[in-house]
């Protein structure tokens, strides 16, 4: 990870923070994958967390905000795994589209660190390529486009493409993904390893596989096949080996 950090903070319905030189953990949910009751539960829990005082050993204010963010995210992930009424990605054709989209720009726009495609959402961990990011943002500025961070450019291209292609498979139209993603930047390599493990174990936690490597649409299977550790990036490999 690089030492000089450029930080971009955005807030829409969800907070978004980008820190150059650090890996990004993204969760994208299918449109409608969290029912109204679930959204209310999330909203109530968010308000409850706001009133929880920072413990004496809670570290800095930023550290405590990260703790609360992780608690809220754990609830969201549980609702997506256990209570989602929308599960388009159980279809292998759609899951392959998303998986192959992750590979498409690997080793070019970013290092692909981990991913899993679940029935109602995906988790994705990547490290943007700094040289590519500078060029892409400069091109956006020169073209007079709305400012986007490297994360936003990468995520938008994948979400837009996969939405179009998956809707084509479904013979459907309209919104495919929820408009906003949940995202979190990894502070160091230790956190990258923890997040990669969390991502790859998701099918096991959800009861979809007995081991992470058994799940078809996860980096765990490729990691085992190539003998990679959790700190290694997933290379772009031939489609038949995925």
Which pLDDT score is estimated for 185?
A: 85
Domain count, the chain: 2
pLDDT 10s digits, 187-230: 899 999 999 999 999 999 999 999 999 999 999 999 999 999 99
pLDDT 10s digits, 55-72: 887 678 878 887 888 888
For residues 214 and 119, membership in a common domain is answered with: yes
Confidence class for position 11, pLDDT limits 50, 70, 90? very low
Which pLDDT score is estimated for 164?
A: 98
For residues 163 and 124, membership in a common domain is answered with: yes
The structure's pTM equals 0.85
For residues 176 and 202, membership in a common domain is answered with: yes
Confidence class for position 104, pLDDT limits 50, 70, 90? very high
Cα gap 132→170, rounded to integer Å: 34
**Residue-range definition of the domain harbouring residue 40:** 34-83
For residues 62 and 140, membership in a common domain is answered with: no
Cα gap 104→162, rounded to integer Å: 12
For residues 124 and 181, membership in a common domain is answered with: yes
For residues 22 and 141, membership in a common domain is answered with: yes
The encoded tokens of residue 15 equal: 């907070």
Torsion over CA: 64, 70, 73, 79 (sign): negative
Instruction: Tell me, yes or no, whether 9 lies in a domain.
Output: no
For residues 54 and 120, membership in a common domain is answered with: no
Pairing of strands 110-117, 121-128: antiparallel
For residues 150 and 186, membership in a common domain is answered with: yes
Residues near 169 by Cβ (< 8 Å), separated by ≥ 6?
A: 91, 93, 94, 97
């Amino acid at each position: 990870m690089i030492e000089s950090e450029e930080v971009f903070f955005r807030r829409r319905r969800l907070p978004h923070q980008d820190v150059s030189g650090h890996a990004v953990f993204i969760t994208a949910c299918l449109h409608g994958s969290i029912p109204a009751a679930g959204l209310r539960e999330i909203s109530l829990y968010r308000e409850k967390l706001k009133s929880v005082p920072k413990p004496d050993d809670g570290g800095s204010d930023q550290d405590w905000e990260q703790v609360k963010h992780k608690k809220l995210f754990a609830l969201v992930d549980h609702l997506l795994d256990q209570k989602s009424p929308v599960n388009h990605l159980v279809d292998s054709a759609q899951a392959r589209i998303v998986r192959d989209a992750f590979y498409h720009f690997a080793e070019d726009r970013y290092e692909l660190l981990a991913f899993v495609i679940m029935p109602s959402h995906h988790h994705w961990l990547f490290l943007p390529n700094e040289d590519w990011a500078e060029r892409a943002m400069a091109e956006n500025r020169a073209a007079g486009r709305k400012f986007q961070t490297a994360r936003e450019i990468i995520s938008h291209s994948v979400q837009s493409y996969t939405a179009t292609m998956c809707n084509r498979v479904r013979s459907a139209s309209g919104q495919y993904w929820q408009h906003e993603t949940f995202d979190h930047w990894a502070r160091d390599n230790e956190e990258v390893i923890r997040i990669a493990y969390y991502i790859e174990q998701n099918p096991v936690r959800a009861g979809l596989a007995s081991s992470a490597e058994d799940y078809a649409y996860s980096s765990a299977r490729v990691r085992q096949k190539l003998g990679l550790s959790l700190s290694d990036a997933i290379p772009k490999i031939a489609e038949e080996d995925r």
